[in-house]
Chains A and B, each alone.
Chain A
Amino acid sequence: MIGKYIKLYVEIQSANLRSRMAYPLNFVIGVLSITFLGLSFILVSWVITQKVPIINGWGTYELIFMTSLWRTTHGIFVALFVQVWWLDSLIRGGEFDRYLVRPLNPMFSFATHSIQIYGFGDMLAGIIGLAISMGHIPGWTLGKIAYLLVLVISGAAIEWSLQMLIGCIVFWTLQGGAMRHILDLLLAQFTRFPLSVYNGGLQVLLTFILPVAFISYYPSYFFFGDRSSIPFSPVLMYLTPIVALLLVLITYYVWKKGLDVYKGAGT
């Protein structure tokens, strides 16, 4: 059963990818421009730490590591699941009903909607940033690298869940897709500097309400020597995979409820 789904997923997505690569020049320019965008954030961290080497206990390479970890997870989200952003217009346009009538799980059908090549630009920038910073952070072992891989997948799952939960509002209201712009902003802005530079209200918001800080801020501490500045509790640095799992389960539950409520956009 699961094997069938995996095979189907790979087949549909590779067909999607081939169609996106029909114009190779556009493909390359598109991916490279997003890579450039991702690297510009690393450049900003570098410029600032040339004048101020340590910000709340974080040096140049720790900052680059954190922001690159988010870039990589964001790239996975964009490449494979960016259709979440268009859930409201798919529903209003009636296109979404297609997934409901297929003899497959609607969540699965929706996940195979498209592949977004710009995500590869983010992944590339993220991996470059990780590679640069990992060279300057001591104590890497195979186990740690394997755990980093778990964190990348967990981070992508957290972003997917948050985006889906906001996207699912559309089942009840038939609109509200614009809310995601605020989430996008929170993700892009609050994964660049340590959470401790922000005020208490923002720290609570980004840890307990919209757990954006679990994507790259808390787990980064796992690889650093100095862990004295973790807000709330040092335990948080181990929780990313658990937060991801919980959020995915909640999201699936909300999605199911949403499909029950949804009766189609037309009459």
Chain B
Amino acid sequence: MRKYAAYTVTTLKNTQVYKFDLLLRVINSFILVIAFREVWKAIYANGDGLAVSTGVTSQEMQTYAMLAVILFAIIPPSNAYEISDKVRDGSIVFDMQKPWDFQLMYLARAAGSFLFGILYIIIPQIIAIFLFFHIDYPTGLQAVAFVVSVLLAFLLSFLINFIVNMTAILFTEIWGIEVFKSVVTDICSGAMVPLWFFPAAVGRVLEWLPFQGIFNIPLSLFIGKIAGSAIWEQIAFQAGWCLILLLFSRLLLAWIERRLVISGG
């Protein structure tokens, strides 16, 4: 376990080096926070009875939109390009032969950037939001559920990322698939538009996909859209998808490792 923790810490330190990039990331993200808030404020001002029909007030929707921007910081950066480079020059074999688990190694790295995101992007921005805008925050059980849900959201986005990265090993050119993945995630997770805003039939389909576990569930917990016994159902939904994707990624990894050995002779 210690070697993975060390790798997490190293990733955290490496990411901290680029101070100017970090500053720009925070500025970028804060411009988006303001923009998203004002867009949703305007949408609510133009929509009659929206608060009644959706069950979410303008205030809550603004909170949802601002936190959605910030929550992007938990999504691990893509390693697809790096993996496809390693496949091209063959060094991927060494990564797979090292005395550690290939997937855990990437998880340790993703955890490093997750910690970085929390320390340097999420916490400062949450403080800024509390200073500038009025927002209601969850307390007690609801707050605990939110934290658990964010951790599961991180795990879910890591697993989806990992599965897409594995396709880099199969088709060395992965740029298009990578763009495709982020568009599907942005739309289906509720990051751009919450699930209850979609036409009912579309919303029902999206509710069964794993993507909503990344944004829609944690953010709905934060604003209290999910409450009572639904909290446990939704967290179980996230955990269930994590398990399914974990099993799938292990099978995929095992299959790829076998294939690599065969083609290596």
Contact = CB atoms under 8 A, between A and B. Distances in A.
The dominant DSSP class at the B interface is: helix
Nearest to A49: B43
B106 to A, nearest CB: 23
Interface in A192-220: 193, 196-199, 202
Contact of B187 (A44, A50, A196): A44
Given A33-B175, A198-B38, A199-B38, A56 B187 contact: no
Nearest to B187: A40
Nearest to B175: A30
Give the one of B28, B32, B35 with max A CB within 10 A: B35
A185 B199 contact: no
A198 B197 CA distance: 21
Interface in A18-48: 23, 25-26, 29-30, 32-34, 36-37, 40, 43-44, 47-48
Given A29-B173, A40-B186, A185 B31 contact: yes
Contacts of A55: 42-43, 46
A152 to B, nearest CB: 24
Interface stretch (B19-27, B73-81, B118-126, B155-163): B19-27
Interface in B37-74: 38-39, 41-43, 46-47, 50, 53-54
A37 B183 CA distance: 6
Contact of B197 (A32, A47, A193): A47
A40 B38 contact: no
B198 interface: yes
Contact of B32 (A36, A51, A179, A185): A185
Contacts, number: 86
B155 to A, nearest CB: 25
A181 interface: yes
Interface string B192-209: 110001110000000000
Contacts of B20: 178
A4 B133 CA distance: 59
Given A30-B175, A193-B42, A181 B24 contact: yes
B31 A178 contact: no
A23 B27 CA distance: 38
Given A44-B192, A48-B43, A182 B176 contact: no
B31 to A, nearest CB: 6
B87 to A, nearest CB: 15
Interface residues of B, number: 33
A47 B42 CA distance: 15
Give the one of A56, A185, A196 with max B CB within 10 A: A185
B255 interface: no
Contact of A40 (B41, B176, B177, B183): B183
A66 to B, nearest CB: 14
Nearest to A29: B176
Contacts of A50: 199
B47 A52 contact: yes
A33 B43 contact: no
A50 B43 CA distance: 12
Given A26-B173, A29-B173, A34 B179 contact: yes
B180 interface: yes
29 contacts: A26-B175, A26-B176, A33-B176, A33-B179, A33-B183, A37-B179, A37-B183, A40-B186, A47-B193, A47-B198, A48-B193, A48-B197, A50-B199, A51-B47, A52-B46, A54-B46, A55-B42, A55-B43, A55-B46, A56-B42, A178-B20, A178-B21, A182-B27, A182-B28, A197-B39, A197-B41, A198-B38, A202-B34, A202-B35
Interface of A: 23, 25-26, 29-30, 32-34, 36-37, 40, 43-44, 47-48, 50-52, 54-56, 178-179, 181-182, 185-186, 189-190, 193, 196-199, 202
Interface of B: 20-21, 24, 27-28, 31-32, 34-35, 38-39, 41-43, 46-47, 50, 53-54, 173, 175-177, 179-180, 183, 186-187, 192-193, 197-199
Given A29-B177, A37-B183, A52-B43, 18 more contacts: A23-B173, A26-B175, A29-B176, A30-B175, A33-B179, A34-B179, A44-B193, A47-B197, A51-B47, A52-B46, A56-B46, A182-B31, A185-B28, A185-B31, A185-B32, A186-B31, A189-B35, A199-B34
